[in-house]
Amino acid sequence: MAAKRLSIAFVGALSLLLATPFASQAVSQEKKESPGLSEVLTDLLQGAGSDDTTAGPDRRVPFGREEVQLSYAPLVRQTAPAVVNVYASQTARVRSPFDGDPFFEQFFGRSMPRSQSSLGSGVLVDEAGFIVTNFHVIKDADEVKVAMSDGREFSSKVLMKDESLDLAVLKIESDKPFPTIAIGDSDALQVGDLVLAIGNPFGVGQTTTSGIVSALARSHIGISDSGFFIQTDAAINPGNSGGGLINMGGQLVGINTAIYSRSGGSIGIGFAIPSNMVRAFVEAAKTGRDFFERPYIGATFDVITPQIAESLGMETPYGALVSAVEAGGPSEQAGLKPGDVVLTFNGARIEGVDALGYRLATQPIGTQAELGVLSKGEEKKVDIALVRAPEGASVTQVQLRGRSPFAGAKVADLSPRLAQRLGMSADTKGVAVVEVERNSPAGGFGLLPGDIVREVNGQTIDSARKLSDASQQNARWWRFTIERDGQLMRQVLRY
């Protein structure tokens, strides 16, 4: 063991010697004085790695000043100007128990608005001023400002946002083109690849950290509904959200989104949204869409458990099990049936339902995809059309008025397209809350967009018109059932 330490240390010293202009002269002099020394040095240089069982054949001590001074600095200079700071502010009025009472307002005054703010990062992906960041950075913001690394500040407009993906696209304006980072191919990443994370942690200013890709296709980590994340050990901290994960080619391969931490600081487990999802989201925003549409294939899927895999004759549990097929939809036209298993999507292996949802979301509407399917014990390839989700029989949205807990809410019958807009599964049925006016009774009672009204005063609600009629009742007591995130909530109010 001592011999190994000596040989490595000696080679290190030799590398510094060879970096000097007198290296060749010194070695030549040594050769004259001791003819066998050069052979010994050659053997040491060639065998330094082979003596150490932990070192591979390509690993060695750096030779020369140039290798010792290798740096990420050129890559940071190239990409850092396109990473911006995002400041989101919201003015919220905290209600006082004296609001609305002229006598008490005369002495105590009305409640004053309070300003709330959040800090994050963003990445310029188009020289025209398109910035991608996280939804949670700008959620409910009244004003969003962007600060460049060169000190310039801009007011921005939110073009599109999606809570289920935790993505948002901002737009800033200038007479001159902005610096950008090209969006790379996240599917080309491999575990072990070097990456940089650039952002504004804790508001201290732009910061760059380095690390590797620790894992791919991470799911069920509680960040958002999306279940396909890049994991990295590059240090990511609060304020890094929306910043860039950069590969060694200077391309954006992910948007830093969250960390796993018990203390609130980085412990080397960070997660980023893959750039292929980011690209699809940005392209949708550029076309002027008001929400991010996923291709619709008219089928629902379940997880493949080890027991299901064994019953289907599969060696390992992977893929997505077809549980239901919409009549006349793309899946039925492609020949998919309940009980089939989708194994691949355009050649990419599908590990689970989340992976299939990710692959679908990154594809343009109006194209086709090739699925690898296991059907009745045999594998086959099928082509399926990726279409826009249908509107359904009714697209009318009803504004609720009257003296009820629902006054101020806008509701509509759910269709696959509306369900997508509200971040729900495309097969969700019922009457959903689409919008809620501020300072309305519906807002005061806590109704949220995406809530599904199931029952009001003992009456089953199966259409927006029926809910409108029910909300016109002259009742003092209101009993209603709301479904939110798959859970039923029953409320009894005196109003």
Using CB atoms within 10 Å of the CB of residue 262, give its burial: 0 to 12 exposed, 13 to 18 middle, 19+ buried: exposed
Report d(CA 383, CA 373) in Å as an integer: 10
| Nearest by Cα to 477 from 450, 457, 451 | 457
Structural tokens at position 389? 């989700």
How many residues can be counted in the chain? 495
Q: Is residue 136 annotated as a catalytic residue, yes or no? A: yes
Q: Where are the alpha helices (DSSP H) in 51-160?
A: 64-68, 73-79, 102-108, 135-138
Give, in order, the Cα–Cα distances in Å from 125 to each of 19, 88, 147, 175, 450.
42, 20, 15, 17, 31
Cα Rg, the chain, nearest whole Å: 30
Catalytic residue (choose from 166, 233, 413, 451): 166
Establish whether 241 is an annotated binding residue. Answer: yes
CB contact at 8 A, 240 and 234: no
Q: Is residue 220 annotated as a catalytic residue, yes or no? A: no
Half-sphere exposure of 325 (CA within 13 A, CB side): 17
Establish whether 166 is an annotated binding residue. Answer: yes
Q: Residue 476: what are its φ and ψ, rounded to 5°?
A: -95, -30
Report d(CA 45, CA 50) in Å as an integer: 10
Report d(CA 276, CA 81) in Å as an integer: 22
What is the 8-class DSSP label of residue 201?
Answer: G
How do the residues of the chain divide into helix, strand and coil, expressed in percent and rounded to 5? 25, 35, 45
Report d(CA 138, CA 158) in Å as an integer: 9
Element (H, E) at 271: strand 270-274
What is the 8-class DSSP label of residue 80?
Answer: G
Q: Is residue 117 annotated as a catalytic residue, yes or no? A: no
Catalytic residue (choose from 15, 136, 468, 471): 136
Residue found by looking up tokens 């549990």 in the block: 317
Report d(CA 123, CA 132) in Å as an integer: 5
Establish whether 136 is an annotated binding residue. Answer: yes
Report d(CA 238, CA 490) in Å as an integer: 36
Residue found by looking up tokens 């011999």 in the block: 3
Report d(CA 71, CA 74) in Å as an integer: 7
CB contact at 8 A, 273 and 253: no
What is the 8-class DSSP label of residue 474?
Answer: -
Catalytic residue (choose from 118, 226, 241, 404): 241
Sequence ranges of the binding site: 136, 166, 239-241
Enumerate the active-site residues. 136, 166, 241
Binding residues for substrate: 136, 166, 239-241
